[in-house]
Chain A
Amino acid sequence: MRTQPGLLAPRQLLRSLPDACRKLDPRTLWRNPVMFIVEIGAVWTTVLAALHPSVFGWLIVGWLWLTVVFANLAEAVAEGRGEAQAESLRRAKADVVARRLTGDPDTPEERIPAPELRRGDHVVVEAGQIIPGDGDVVEGIAGVDESAITGESAPVIRESGGDRSAVTGGTRVLSDRIVVRITQEPGKSFVDRMIALVEGASRQKTPNEIALNILLAALTIVFLLAVATLQPMAIYAKDVNPGVPASPALGEHGVAGVVLVSLLVCLIPTTIGALLSAIGIAGMDRLVQRNVLATSGRAVEAAGDVGTLLLDKTGTITLGNRQAAAFLRVAGTPEDELADAAQLSSLADETPEGRSVVVFAKQRYGLRERTPGELTHATWVPFTAQTRMSGVDLDDPKRSLRKGAAGAVADWVRGHGGDVPAELARIADGISASGGTPLAVGEAVDGSARVLGVVHLKDVVKEGMRERFGEMRRMGIRTVMITGDNPLTAKAIADEAGVDDYLAEARPEDKLALIRTEQAGGRLVAMTGDGTNDAPALAQADVGVAMNTGTSAAKEAGNMVDLDSDPTKLIEIVEIGKQLLITRGALTTFSIANDVAKYFAIIPALFAGLYPGLAALNVMRLHSPQSAILSAVVFNALVIVALIPPALRGVPYRPGGASRLLSRNLAVYGLGGLAAPFAGIKLIDLLVRYLPGMS
């Protein structure tokens, strides 16, 4: 479902044009007060132009209508991009037949259309079939192709019980047979929600958007007032200058209606008013592009505000498993011998830790990996949870090797008549203290046994995490690592990864308590989770991202679902949230800053005839009053189109402190917003001066 975020193609604009025109309907447009006022102005000037036709009047009318159309276009394009995604999702859910289990021994199964499934129904799905609805696997294990939703072609395993039991309607079972208990209500499946989301149908205004709308409404009222009260002032000014002949812009009855509307449209924040909803839609869209589904826009905005990030250690901060990081000799065992013994004793250990010993021996000591079949007369002893050891017994010469938990190996050495040096305990304690896990390697030859050394296993922090967390800190986000490890281990990893804090020996209720404490301190908390026992915490967190691989309970509790089940995605989500707000703020600033230049275009155009001194305000040296007013209106309309791409793409966000960010955005959108229209209006004036009716 990943669609190309790409640049805005002109074709896309054209395709959205019909939609944009449909949105001219006042019944839909009134929801956007700024543009609604522009439309009213356009209607009124149309009437005026029809009553007193002039080239100038009709040009203004045309561009006023274009202003509204351009604003609608922005929204239509944003929605259009979602539509393509919705289409591919609809295909995924087309015409699936469900095999519902009836519980009746005679007809154990019946075929019904998927949309008729209800919560609690049990369905059976076999290889090659499409899962008819969202639910949990209650029986069996299967490989599932979820590419229709996640875009990932690699199959995933879904099995009953545990945290990998959730399946999504519309995905395909590749192997085996599973029984699924449906957990959705009809028409409210995950795919349905996704479609609604990407189409923007379920979009509600987010809190910041509402606040911004209030501010824009207030600004609109101010300018409405400034323009409305200009009329009696202009009439007075005209009255006291009886020698000045009436001009097309200013006559006995004050400023011409067309000009008054032009001034109003130029002043009210049309730029941000036009783009505001597109920014919101595009923000959600960017999340979808990254395979994250947010159930509410509020959550996306909250992501930008997150003050504390709870991250599970395993899989998020560290690679999934512990790995061998050093071989430590005991009692003067030669290092090569220790490495050889460690490798041999681990060959039968298929756990990730065991594999890592073999890999480490190869990488560090250049020991070729031997396969169990390669050695004759060897009895392999695999790792079990009971013995907590793995190893090998060799016949010729008779020699046994064991590798495992330090205590277990020590007992084994003693049992074979050997002594365990105190050094072992010291080394093992040292490793434990540093957060690692010690594994001892022992050898028994002909009735005598000894400890060869210790393997230091440790958690390996993913590459780049330290920098990532540094970035977070500069963004003002506190990172807290959640782990089931003991405090010692947790601290060591926390230090290495560079998180700000950790919660060791964490139980789900500890997590919940931590979230509550952070929230009581005024911080917004974001977390990821997948298990059912994460559900309360996910629900409590302000941003709860459930892994798509997780249980239905987790997905219900959170307010976002990551289809890639990538816990580090949280960081990107935060960035998207911030980008959404930044884009709104930046374009608002730009929109307001634009007004300054427009005044310099329109005020002298209107009043220089009455008060010759005001011609000095015509700093752009615009051709004529008509061309000045038209240029301002044209610029105002075109700038909307010019800003559609940044509105949809979002203003670039680079993590960093608030001050730097503000400086940059102020320079670009504040100062840029002041300067751009001076250049733009002048350029347009250079062109439109050749139109008829411009002098």
Chain B
Amino acid sequence: MSTTLAGILFIGSLLMALAVVYRPLGDYMYRVYTRPSHSRVERAVYRTVGADPDGEQTWGAYARSVLAFALVGILFLYGFQRLQNHLPLSLGRTPVKPDQAWNTAVSFVTNTNWQSYSGETTMGHLVQMSGLAVQNFVSAAMGMCVAVALIRGFVRKKTGHLGNFWVDLTRTCVRILLPIAFAAAIVLIAGGLVQNFGGGHVADTLTGAHQQIPGGPVASQEAIKELGTNGGGFYNANSAHPFENATAWTNWLEILLILVIPFSLCRTFGRMVGQNRQGYAILAVMGGIALVSVTLLNVFQLTHHGTVPAAAGGSMEGVEMRFGVANSATFAGATTLTSTGAVDSFHDSYTSLGGMMTLLNMMLGEVAPGGTGSGLYGMLILAVVTVFVAGLMVGRTPEYLGKKIGSREIKFAAMYFLSTPVLVLGGTAVALAVPDGRAGMLNRGAHGFSEVLYAFTSASNNNGSAFAGLTVNTVFYDTALGLCMALGRFLPIVFVLALAGSLARQGRVPESAGTLPTHRPQFAGMLAGVTVVLVALTFLPALALGPLAEGIRS
């Protein structure tokens, strides 16, 4: 079988698997978010928290809860890292230095999981499993909560209430993420992932040398790292490390885990708004963009253009043999199209245009399908913008799902889609203007620029993957990227919730023949077009000076 055919089958089988779980998982999540009853464990949680599970929150209260939980999470994780030498299972690791601890805390709470540290030498097991991995759960859940609150904004009428954050958070963790992660972790162990609490094992190699092989509770963390579109690796090499991703089929499974919730949430969305076809429309846009992107990425990688890939005879630099170029490209597509940031191969060494695709995927705002929850709400924001322009073109005040898109709604949507470009472009510009920023580049010229652009794109979009040549463990990058991650996560969340509040207050406009149908290919096509054109227009100059400058040969 040729590599190309195998690569196509690899993508095709992923699509099939996603199609198979789309309905059951989407329906299940729908029930999780709409059923009134609470389980005993959940009641215990609510009692501890002191929250009334049946009391609903306004958008403001919901947002305050989200922010309070995030703030506590950051402080807790910061303290955890700083004090790790006093805790069990620390493997004798020293405290993480302050700027790196701040960066890492923000990174995990914001679902970015950017790694400015090297897992095997910096973090003890307890920090990994009880600090970082917990945020893998709750930061993913937070995105889903916000997405569900936004959907409720569309569904409900004439109310200020969007649900209860504590209930949504607990249910997401306990009923959705935990069972899937548990099952996935067991399967991953079968594939070769480690799950132990040892400090490492020294092997006497065949040649008589010593090789220290680390252990750790990797499988449990790997499962939620992919499922929650987090991406922070247990080891420095992330999912390229054989203990994080042992075989070609664990690679397949990890991609599936990355994509499964973001795609299936479309079903949940369709069910909640009472029109499955609306979910399919969003799914089609996400799926269409994703498929085109992954295909291009595969093509660029397999044609291995550029000097070094041509010299090597394949884009194998930074790529693991067991995955090969094609499946690595697919993984790279999945991780950058979502807010995952896990890598099973190193994007910095990709072909210029292949690397550009990973960058472009994140620049899309991670909406195809995006992070857990964050992808859906990002896409819905774009749908609001699209509906606005398209709605005007059919001669009516634009409506989406029965809600009028007026100046208040457009204001929040506009602030949403403004926030990431401001951080990405602003951050990159600052980094290029100050010596500390330029100093971190590993590569020179256009590629060095790409490294910086990639770092700010990844941080601001909460992806977490990197053109890893950039030395980011410096005070400048730890601080600046930490800020980008925090603002890139929480500003949009606040705008989304404000929009949800504004939508929920409205009544519902009944559908008529004059209403723009938002479930047809026409609208889906336009939404995809708006997504791509807005991004292209915003980032083309930057891309021209980075990957395009490097990748196009005259």
Asked whether any CB of A lies within 8 Å of a CB of B in the complex, the reply is: yes
CB-CB < 8 A to A582: which residues of B?
392-395
Is there an interface contact between B554 and A218, defined as CB atoms closer than 8 Å? no
Q: Give Cα A113–Cα B537 distance, bound, in whole angstroms.
A: 62
What's the Cα separation between A215 and B391 when bound, in Å? 14
Contact B393–A229 (Cβ < 8 Å) = no
Given contacts A225-B421, A595-B537, A304 and B397 within 8 Å (CB-CB)? yes
Q: Is the CB of A592 within 8 A of B395?
A: no
Q: Are B510 and A596 in contact (CB under 8 A)?
A: no
Question: Does A686 sit at the interface, judged by CB under 8 A?
Answer: no
| Pair A599/B537 contact, Cβ less than 8 Å | yes
Whether B18 sits at the interface, judged by CB under 8 Å, is: no
Given contacts A305-B397, A612-B554, A617-B552, contact A215 B526 (CB under 8 A): no
Q: Is the CB of A596 within 8 A of B432?
A: no
In the docked arrangement, what's the CA distance between A520 and B421, Å? Answer: 41
> Which residues from 191 to 231 on chain A have a C-beta closer than 8 Å to any C-beta of chain B?
207-208, 210-212, 214-215, 217-218, 221-223, 225-231
In the complex where A233-B542, A240-B445, A663-B522 touch, is A658 in contact with B517 (Cβ < 8 A)? yes
Contact of A229 among B409, B426, B515, B529 (CB under 8 A): B426
Instruction: Select the stretch in A137-145, A452-460, A470-478 that faces chain B.
Output: A470-478
Could you say which residues of chain A place their CB within 8 Å of the CB of B515? 476, 658
Cβ–Cβ contact B449 & A233, under 8 A: yes
Known: A225-B421, A232-B432. A661 touches B537 (CB 8 A): no
Judge whether A603 and B541 touch: CB under 8 Å: yes
Interface size on A, residues (CB 8 A): 78
Contact A666 B526 (CB under 8 A): yes
Determine the main DSSP class of B at the interface with A: helix
Does A577 touch B at the CB level, under 8 Å?
yes
Q: CA of A214 to CA of B406 in the docked complex: distance in angstroms?
A: 10
Interface centre among A212, A234, A235 (most CB of B within 10 A): A212
Nearest chain A residue, comparing its CB with the CB of B448: A240
**With A237-B545, A304-B396, A581-B392 as contacts: A207 and B554 at CB distance below 8 Å:** no
Chain B residues near A653 (CB, 8 Å)? 395
How far does the alpha carbon of A208 sit from the alpha carbon of B396 in the complex, in Å?
9
**B180 to chain A: which residues have CB within 8 Å?**
none
B514 beta carbon closer than 8 Å to chain A: yes
Quick check: is B72 within 8 A (CB to CB) of the other chain? no
Inter-chain contacts of B425 with A (CB < 8 A): 225-226, 229
The digit string for A226-262, where 1 denotes a CB below 8 A from any CB of B, is: 1111111111110011000000000000000000000
Q: In angstroms, how far is the closest chain B Cβ from the Cβ of A236?
A: 4
Q: Which one of B396, B397, B425, B548 has the highest number of Cβ atoms from chain A below 10 Å of its Cβ?
A: B396
Given A229-B425, A237-B449, A304-B397, A614 contacting B544 (CB threshold 8 A): yes
- Interface residue? B405 (CB, 8 A): yes
B513 at the interface (CB under 8 A from A): yes
Known: A221-B418, A662-B522. A522 touches B507 (CB 8 A): yes
Is A661 within 8 A of B418, CB to CB? no
**B242 interface residue, CB < 8 Å from A?**
no
CA distance A208 to B409 in the complex (A): 11
* Interface membership of B71, Cβ < 8 A: no
Please tell me if B342 contacts chain A, counting CB pairs below 8 Å.
Answer: no
Contact B418 A222 (CB under 8 A): yes
Most buried by B among A222, A223, A229, A235: A229
Any A CB within 8 A of the CB of B531: no
Determine if A610 and B391 form an interchain contact, defined as CB atoms under 8 angstroms apart: no
Residues from chain B with a CB closer than 8 A to the CB of A473 are 513
Can you name the residue of chain B whose Cβ is closest to the Cβ of A579? Answer: B395
Q: Is A77 an interface residue (CB 8 A)?
A: no
Q: At the interface with chain B, which of A401-409, A583-591, A621-629, A641-649?
A: A583-591
Query: Is B37 located at the chain interface by the 8 A CB criterion?
Result: no
Q: Is B215 an interface residue (CB 8 A)?
A: no
- Residues A616 and B549 in contact, CB atoms below 8 Å apart: no
Chain A residues near B411 (CB-CB < 8 A): 214
Bound: A27/B526 CA distance, A: 38
Q: Are A218 and B418 in contact (CB under 8 A)?
A: yes
Q: Hey, which chain A residues are within 8 Å of B389, CB to CB? A: 215, 585, 588-589
Using CB atoms, name the residue of chain A closest to B410. Answer: A211
A662 lies within 8 A of B516 (CB) = yes
Bound-state CA distance A211–B549 (Å) is 38
Q: How far is the CB of A683 from chain B (nearest CB, A)?
A: 23
Whether, in the assembled complex, A431 has its beta carbon less than 8 Å from a beta carbon of chain B, the answer is: no
Report B-chain residues with C-beta under 8 Å of the C-beta of A212. 388, 392, 410
Most B CB within 10 A of own CB, among A208, A223, A653: A208
Known contacts A211-B407, A307-B512, A617-B544; decide if A232 and B433 are in contact (CB<8 Å): yes
B21 within 8 Å of A (CB atoms): no
* Residue among B433, B534, B540 making CB contact with A599, cutoff 8 Å: B540
A1–chain B nearest beta-carbon distance, Å: 27
Contact assessment for B393 and A666 in the assembled complex, using a CB-CB cutoff below 8 Å: yes
Known: A222-B418, A588-B392. A476 touches B513 (CB 8 A): yes
Q: Does B9 contact A (CB under 8 A)?
A: no
CB of B190 closer than 8 Å to a CB of A? no
* Contact (A228, B526) CB under 8 Å given A588-B392, A589-B389: no
Q: Is the CB of A476 within 8 A of B512?
A: yes
Note all chain B residues with C-beta closer than 8 A to A148. none
Contacts of B508 in A (CB 8 A): 522
User: B438: which of A236, A520, A522 is its contact (CB, 8 Å)?
Assistant: A236
Task: Name A230's closest neighbour in chain B (CB-CB).
Answer: B541
Interface contact B544-A478, CB-CB below 8 Å: no
A614-639 toward B: CB 8 Å interface, digit per residue (1/0)?
A: 11110000000000000000000000
Across the two chains, which residue of chain B brings its CB closest to A607?
Answer: B544
Check B396–A589 contact: CB distance below 8 A: no
Smallest distance from the beta carbon of A616 to chain B beta carbons, Å?
Answer: 5
CA gap between A386 and B259 in the complex, in Å: 84
Contact pick for A477, options B448, B514, B541, CB 8 Å: B514
Question: Shortest 6 CB-CB distances between A and B: which pairs?
Answer: A476-B514, A585-B392, A578-B395, A476-B512, A218-B414, A611-B549
> Assuming A207-B407, A240-B444, what are 14 further A-B pairs, CB within 8 angstroms?
A207-B397, A208-B392, A208-B397, A211-B410, A212-B392, A215-B388, A222-B537, A232-B430, A474-B513, A522-B509, A581-B393, A603-B541, A607-B544, A613-B550
16 A–B pairs (Cβ distance < 8 Å), ordered by A: A212-B392, A215-B414, A222-B417, A222-B537, A229-B425, A229-B542, A240-B449, A473-B513, A521-B510, A581-B391, A596-B537, A611-B545, A613-B553, A616-B554, A659-B516, A666-B526
Identify the A interface with B (CB < 8 A). 207-208, 210-212, 214-215, 217-218, 221-223, 225-237, 240-241, 267, 301, 304-305, 307, 473-478, 520-523, 577-579, 581-582, 584-586, 588-589, 592-593, 595-596, 599, 603, 607, 610-617, 653, 657-659, 661-663, 665-666, 669-670
